[in-house]
Amino acid sequence: MLLKTMVYKKADLTTVLETATLAEALTILEDSGYRCVPILDETGKIFRGNIYKMHIYRHKANGGDMSLPVTSLLKNATKFIYVNSSFFNVFFTIKELPYIAVLDEHDHFYGILTHSSLLSVLAQSWNVEQGSYVLTIASTGKKGDLAAISKIIAKHSSIASCITLDIGKDEFIRRTLITLPAETTQATLDKIIEQLESKLFKVVEIEDLKAER
């Protein structure tokens, strides 16, 4: 996965050095408007973790010492990926985080990948802007099902995108989401559905992308 095109680079980010106090870090967070920023070592090369505004506020509200180093409330020290990480590694590492730190091949802080950037990539893979209909097709998941589905659709239309869900969730059910190109007509759609279901592939949902724009 080519992360470099999606990553916000270090030079464009607001960061806090590990030598900063909690008071200084809070000022930086308030001035930037961010709820969380990366903490770097004194050289600005090593990612130490993240500091969250809410944790500093909670510490302050409880009468905590604001002159303590920012690292005293450091979080997510092990939450990072590399610029050459796979999509699946990225997807399952970021989870509930607002962003994930990205390191280069020398373990130096390269930048961050945000949740919104990742969702943008997923939206592109769904091909919403260039699509017409999204068919959710249920199958048994046996060998050759995807090839058979693709062959049926290819008789009438190209495929704008394809995503398979439920892998590992249910041994007997797979849901394949096929996005048809923008020029697909209702008549073509009907033919595709008819032939899919004649081969025992159930079209469980049809989403009209044109109607939602």
Query: Is the Cβ–Cβ distance between 132 and 181 less than 8 Å?
Result: yes
Taking residues 104-115, report their average pLDDT: 94
Taking residues 84-102, report their average pLDDT: 84
Percent of the chain with pLDDT strictly greater than 70: 91
Out of 47-56, 90-99, 108-117, which region has the weakest mean confidence (pLDDT)?
A: 90-99
So what's the pLDDT on residue 105?
Answer: 93
Out of 21-25, 123-127, 191-195, which region has the weakest mean confidence (pLDDT)?
A: 123-127
Domain map (residue ranges) of the chain? 3-120, 127-212
So what's the pLDDT on residue 5?
Answer: 80
So what's the pLDDT on residue 165?
Answer: 75
So what's the pLDDT on residue 9?
Answer: 95
Widest distance between CA atoms in the chain: 71
Q: Does the structure show a pLDDT above 80 at 210? A: no
Q: What residues contact residue 121 under an 8 Å CB cut-off, 6+ apart?
A: 6
Q: pLDDT digit string (tens) for 46-81?
A: 999 999 999 999 999 999 999 999 999 999 999 999
So what's the pLDDT on residue 126?
Answer: 62
CA distance 44 to 113: 18
DSSP letter at 11 equals G
Query: Is the Cβ–Cβ distance between 192 and 153 less than 8 Å?
Result: yes
Q: Does the structure show a pLDDT above 80 at 169? A: no
User: Which CATH superfamily hosts domain 127-212?
Assistant: ACT domain (3.30.70.260)
Strands (E), 59-158: 80-82, 99-103, 109-114, 131-139
Q: pLDDT digit string (tens) for 13-25?
A: 999 999 999 999 9
Of residues 39, 32, 5, 20, the one with CA closest to residue 113: 5
So what's the pLDDT on residue 46?
Answer: 98
Q: Does the structure show a pLDDT above 80 at 153? A: yes
- Give the domain 3-120 fold: CBS-domain (3.10.580)
